[in-house]
Structure 1
Amino acid sequence: MRTRKTLQRALALTVLAVLPAAAFTLPAQAAATVASAPQAVGAAAPVSFVDLTASPLPSDHKTHRITVTYRNDTSADRTVAPQILVESPDRGPFLSPSDVRLEVLTGGHWKTVPLASQTGTLYTGLGPAKVVLHGHHTLAQQYRITVLKASPGTVHPRVALYA
């Protein structure tokens, strides 16, 4: 049911505002075009999301790369945060954070990103991922995902936009 997925995302967003998440930084390539967000924006909730192309959750136990790319086409700076959702089928089985390993490329090294769970959806935290993207610059955040316990699902990258 689409209503359930919408509710899942809304619940996840509510939880995201209060849950701490793993810190990760931008890769050197993207860091050249992005500056760190000021501390004052830490508690603000996103005003919208840009949904990127979703794909089926791989079931081959191999590592697959995901690139979250977003271009700020305006001349103004904009606070953004890349996010990965791993969605379970509507009627289950529901994924657990131990079923999937997600890593982010940070400073030339892959670091594990903890996944939180809400109503069958695994997700990365937004707070530590926030960056200020300068006008007419592009964010390109690299991730890799490995499915440890094969299960049906969808990988849904997106970018949170802040006021």
Structure 2
Amino acid sequence: MESALEGITLGEKIQNNLSVGSLFWILGASYLIVKGEPDIALKYTMKGLNIMEELKYQNGIAICLSFISHIYLYKGDLYLALEYCKKSLSNNEISDNAKAITLHTLGGIYRENGELQKALKYYKQGILLSEELGNTTLLIAFLTRIGTTYRMVGNHEKALKYITR
């Protein structure tokens, strides 16, 4: 996290706003994933979002919105998580990788809300996109989520099919 803060200072000094915005998002992710501090993560990610919006960098905006959605999911605020997720997906210039990550978050929101069929719908869309991208890490994440979701509804045969694929 120190490196990100140093990078932000340097980026501001040389006026590389795209790097600064990206580093704020990375710093936010670090605070959530490493430290489990969603409020600080949200503060930094919002700073990154503001910079991306000033730059009109659509993919950066979509990535920040997606991660803000993930933060709200972590905090248990499914309404705001869903709002930010939908904003991210409505961006036509979102990269396929960012879209896949957002689909994973969207599936998680519906799963947490008990809407398991909707969750499965978005996870399955994510599988197709992950396969197109050749992103095995995301593919495994989607397969695992689908398997555990099928287990939640009592369909152990399908759960096993996806988890062992």
Where on the TM-score scale, by shorter chain, does this alignment land: which range? Answer: under 0.3
Q: Which has the higher strand share?
A: 1
- TM-score normalised according to structure 1 size: 0.25
- TM-score normalised according to structure 2 size: 0.24
Q: Which entry has the higher C-alpha Rg, 1 or 2?
A: 2
Q: Which has the higher helix share?
A: 2
